Amino acid sequence: MTQAVEATPRAARAATLELRDVSVAYGGIHAVDGVSLSVAPGELLGLIGPNGSGKTTLLDAISGIIRPTSGQVLLDGEDLIDHLPEDRARLGLVRSFQDCRLFPELTVEEVLLVSEDMRHRAGVFSTTLQLPWARQAERTKRQAADRLLLAFGLDRFRRHRISELSTGTRRVVDLATIVLAEPRLLLLDEPTSGIAQREAEAFVPLLRRIHEVTGATIVLVEHDVPMVFSLSTRVVVLETGRVASIGTPDEVRADPAALAAYLGASYEALARSGKLGVSADRPGG
């Protein structure tokens, strides 16, 4: 990425997230079971766990897609329980999805312009009459889109329709729209899902730069454990909807509870990666 997008100081932007005994139940099954944790302003928190451990359900509860059965979700101390997803978005809570919910018939440039337009609507009347301030707003919107196209290496895809892009490139476009949304709390749900390994490796510096540019607090759900460990300030391991382990990457690496809950499930593969600092023969190495 280039320096075309200027970072905003973290202290002025980043939000505090606090979960108090959050549970989500479907019938008699607890998808999330009494999760409590705090995420400091500007922190990048990694959230890992086996399939069905409740990671995406927890993001859904934080973003307002589903309502917790019990507990509280607080943004800067404000309880969000009665806030709709769009209300939370206005407070700076932005959520990405595994399936890149973009408009397939639009070009990359058009998607960015639509995203920017949703933040700064000029109004049909003003735009139709080409009033001076509406023309200035349109220029500002296009300049913002141009900066993002360059910063994310998307300029050569400017005229390509979303449906014509690879999965990896679509995800980069999705991340660019997130930067335009100016998040204070950013929930990333498996940004490398379905992407080839070569493309996925490029996401480590990209996500690090997005964290730097937005100044946002980030909760990252990702199946690529070495990626999570390399990016995160702290890591949370979920198992059957509960917090099995929480701490710095080094602390979680050495925690037998974390290894039993998740890391041990694919131990040999993780040991071969050489990035977790564990032995395939001796958990906690």
- pLDDT tens track for 117-132: 765 554 444 444 455 5
Share of the chain above pLDDT 90, in %: 44
Sequential DSSP letters for 42-53: T-EEEEE-STTS
Q: Chain centroid to CA 165: how far?
A: 21
**Average pLDDT in the chain:** 81
Number of other CB atoms surrounding residue 106 within 10 Å: 16
Three-state DSSP state, 74: strand
Domain ranges of the chain: 1-92+183-285, 104-181
Instruction: Please give the model's pTM, rounded to 2 decimal places.
Output: 0.79
Please say whether the beta carbons of 217 and 17 come within 8 A: yes
pLDDT score of 73: 97
Distance CA 123, CA 127 (A): 6
CATH fold label, 1-92+183-285: Rossmann fold (3.40.50)
pLDDT digit string, tens, across residues 153-180: 889 999 999 989 888 888 888 888 888 8
The sheet carrying 217-221 orders its strands as 93-95, 185-189, 217-221, 44-48, 234-239, 242-247
